[in-house]
Amino acid sequence: MTEPTGHILQMSGITKIFPGVVALDNANLAVREGHIHGLVGENGAGKSTIIKVLAGVYGRDAGEVVIDGAAMAAMTPAHVHAAGIRFIHQELHLVPHFTVAESVFMGQELQGWFGIKSRAMAEAAETFLKETLNAEIRGTTLIRDLGVAQRKLVQIARALIDNKARIVVFDEPTAPLASREIDQLFEAIARLKARGISMVYVSHYLGEITSICDQVTVFRNGRDVGVIEAIGPQDTGRMINMMVGRDISDLYPAKAHAPAAALLRVEALGDHKHFDNIDLEIRRGEIVGVAGLIGSGREELVDTIYGLRQPAAGRMLIDGKPVRLASPAAAVKQGIVLVPRDRRQDGLVLGMTVADNVNLASLEDVSRAYLINRPAAAKRADALAAKLDIRPRNVDTVARLLSGGNQQKVVLARWLATGSRLFILDEPTVGVDIGAKVEIYRLIERLAGDGAAVIVSSSDPNELIGLCDRIVVMLRGSIVANVDTATTSLDALIALTTGGELHEGAVA
């Protein structure tokens, strides 16, 4: 094979405007023939938008797409497909009760006079999987009997079976995979590269990017902020700097609380699926952050501590006593509360008033003989609304009409009303404006100051560093680090979360 030099794909000056939002602002992406090109950036940086423009799913407001030297005028999914571009989406999109062969040949089945040629398809699928992806999968196996990694390979085979693919775009291909399964995928990708297929590799896992990509384009705020050639592990720090591009502001309150005795201990907790062997200790008056990408087991761990999911192994102790939480109700009895990530769906009854929402979990306190004492309930809601500065102050307002930040405060107020001792906050500031964020941070700080233990599960590394005393970092179902925020830099945290390695001494 000759040394590939030319660009097979050039997207230049791409602009995409959604009502009120500029998703892509004069963004560029250029992929060399035969290379694996990484695409990284924080959530909302524009990675998935530019991929969807390439796929023909979104039209573009400005810019040019050149494939193999030819400008693409019309870009429909069919045109893109005809140009030899294939997409391996994050979701598998396979029919569970179809066979491997039926899945690989979906839409281009082999048919003869006597109908579908099942055997020929099975053989062709097996051969293709073996030769191109180095996978031993029988063509007659049902998809639902395959592991996730094998399904991923079937998905790739489906994209490539017509042998016309020139560029393959991988969108977070390893997200659902366990570490040992990733090697199998990487081996398949290496084989594709050897066949001269160019690839775009989108991932949050910087470790993967540095190990398999040839170049990387970094996106931030809807545009490309830099291209790193000949990428290697030594570039992780540079990549993170380009991705983040800002300092931690003074959003965060001073940490005035003093951690005391342990409240919750988690020992060897696992569900054999999303996380395993988790050890954790949280003290009264302490704010502990949990960091981890989607798929790291972070959300599942938090749900398990709250009783929403059941562990398969390990145990939990509160004040040194083992507890088993069969349901969120059992957790609430133990003084554990969860402020859920999707408060609109899980946290608030949107049609009810603020007062009713505040008192929802502690009606027995303001009731006599099952009848709600309305004046008492309203009085308490008033007091809490004042304490948390919920606006509008009128507790008879319907919850739906409140802003995101104020809704979050109502959910917090409800649990303050119950006198809980362990607060689990899952993505507490998603969809909340900057002013409300500051207030919520102060509230969380006050909870800890009053002696409660707080777990903050968040995908925002700034928030974790600014708010927490300690951060446990999860990666692929395990805790890979337990760091003190006083001695951890933002870059170091991102590196830990994404499985990358920092080589330039960024760990302070």
Partner 1 sequence: MTSLAQSPLAGVGRLVRAVAPSTPLIVFLAMFAYLGMASSNFLEPSTMALVLKQSVPTVVVCLGLATVVMAGGDDVVVGGIDLSVPATAVLAAAIIADLVSNHAMFIGYALLIGVAAGVVCGLVNAFLVVFFGMTPLLATFASSTAFIGISKVVTASRRINVGDPLIVWLRDGSIFGVPAGVICACLIAAVFYFVLHRTRWGLNLQAVGGSRDAAEMSGLSAARFIAQSFVIAGLVGGVASAFVLARGSGWTPGTEENLMMEMVLATFLGAAFSPRRIVTLWGAVLGAVLVSALSVGFGSVGIDIFWTGCIKGSLILIVVASAALSRKVNA
Task: List, as one string, the DSSP characters of 172-241.
Answer: STTTT--HHHHHHHHHHHHHHHHTT-EEEEE-S-HHHHHHH-SEEEEEETTEEEEEESS--GGGHHHHHH
Using CB under 8 A as the criterion, which residues of the chain lie in contact with partner 1 when the complex forms? 77-78, 81, 87, 89, 91, 93-98, 102-103, 106-109, 111, 114-116, 142, 158, 268-270, 310-316, 322, 324, 326
Contact 290, 269 (CB under 8 A): no
Amino acid identity at 310? Q
* Nearer of residues 179 and 310 to partner 1, judged by Cβ: 310
Nearest approach in angstroms of CB 149 to partner 1 is 18
* Nearer of residues 80 and 199 to partner 1, judged by Cβ: 80
* Nearer of residues 77 and 435 to partner 1, judged by Cβ: 77
Nearest approach in angstroms of CB 316 to partner 1 is 7
Nearest approach in angstroms of CB 79 to partner 1 is 12
* Nearer of residues 294 and 313 to partner 1, judged by Cβ: 313
Nearest approach in angstroms of CB 266 to partner 1 is 10
222 Cβ contact partners less than 8 Å away, ≥ 6 residues apart: 22, 23, 24, 25, 27, 45, 46, 49
Nearest approach in angstroms of CB 418 to partner 1 is 25
CA dist list (Å): 302 to 308, 398, 434, 496: 9, 29, 25, 19
416: left (phi over 0), alpha (psi -120 to 50) or beta: alpha
Nearest approach in angstroms of CB 312 to partner 1 is 7
Nearest approach in angstroms of CB 93 to partner 1 is 4
DSSP alpha helices (H): ranges in 135-178?
A: 148-160
Hey, CA dihedral for 302, 307, 310, 315, is it positive or negative? positive
Of the candidates 240, 194, 198, the residue with the CA atom closest to the CA atom of residue 215: 198
* Nearer of residues 98 and 186 to partner 1, judged by Cβ: 98
* Nearer of residues 78 and 194 to partner 1, judged by Cβ: 78
Hey, CA dihedral for 351, 353, 357, 360, is it positive or negative? negative
* Nearer of residues 195 and 272 to partner 1, judged by Cβ: 272
* Nearer of residues 312 and 329 to partner 1, judged by Cβ: 312
Alpha carbon distance 27, 451 (integer Å): 49
Q: Which residues pair with 425 in a beta bridge?
A: 339, 456
Contact 441, 466 (CB under 8 A): yes
Nearest approach in angstroms of CB 159 to partner 1 is 9
